[in-house]
Every structure is written in structure tokens, then in C-alpha cells.
A = this chain, B = another copy of it.
Amino acid sequence: MDSTENGTEQGFSLLLDDQLCFALYAASRAVTNRYRPLLEALGLTYPQYLVMLVLWEHDTVPIKDIGAALQLDYGTLTPLIKRLESAGLVRRERRPDDERTVLVTLTGQGQELRERARTVPTDIGDAMGLSPAQFDQARRLLRLVTANVSASG
């Protein structure tokens, strides 16, 4: 029950509260939940919103590149993008000079949605309640963790 005997040197115990991994997992879900009502008003889920972020930057992107940007595989992206297509936000078409590639392109509706989404990052950023310095530090640490655990299988 006390923290005097706290594992080796860095809190590597089996206590739930010691786990950075759990803090990460819980924070990620809490933030996604915070997004939910805002994105629901736009007709998007959170992963769909991330795909739209990529498209709002580039307009036409192969599925492969979307997967590289978001670190998601085809099993996730294929049905997700088909739902975006059903919603009229994107168009899917094979690249003429390489029929293996599927290009995803914003429709007019997809472009218009960008305007309605402009305030979303600010709303969430405010809700996180971090100072600019904390915001940058958190982002830096998370990128470091991602890079480290992704390296060397």
C-alpha cells in the first residue's frame, strides 16, 4: 500500500497506478471521449476525423500514405474510408498509371466540412488545460515514447 518499496528504480511494479502505460491508455480514451460530441455534430468518429485531417492537408492521398501518416493498416482504413465515401465526404478511384493504388480525394462536401471543423482543435486544446509549455513538452515526450517503442521490434 505504500510507495517505499516501489519496484527497482523507476516504478516498474505491478501496481496499476505506477504504470505509465495505463496513464497513456486512459488519457487517450478520455480525450477521444471529449472529442465525441464535437465530432458527432460533424458526422465523424475520431479516427475518421484523423483521416480528414490528412485529406484537408493534401486533398488527394493514396490509402497507403494515409496509413503511413496515421500508423493504421488497411484492415482499419478500408472500411473506414468506405464509410467516409458513403457519407459523401470523399471519392475513391484507382490511379490510372497504377491500378493497385486507390486515391482518396475530398469531395466538395469534404472540403466544406473543414470550415466547420476549424474550432475543434481549439475546443479540445482548451479542455486539456495545459500551458503552452506543458503542451509542447507532452507532445515531445509522447513522440519520444512512440519512436522508442516502435524501434527495434
A60-114, CB < 8 A from B: 69-71, 114
How many protomers of this protein does the assembly include? 2
29 contacts between A and B (CB under 8 A): A7-B121, A9-B132, A11-B125, A11-B139, A12-B121, A12-B122, A14-B56, A15-B53, A16-B54, A20-B130, A20-B135, A20-B138, A21-B124, A23-B146, A26-B70, A27-B28, A28-B28, A30-B146, A30-B150, A31-B149, A34-B149, A127-B149, A129-B145, A129-B148, A129-B149, A130-B148, A134-B144, A138-B138, A138-B142
Apart from A14-B57, A19-B53, A28-B28, list 8 A-B contacts with CB within 8 A: A10-B135, A14-B56, A14-B121, A34-B149, A127-B149, A128-B145, A128-B149, A138-B138
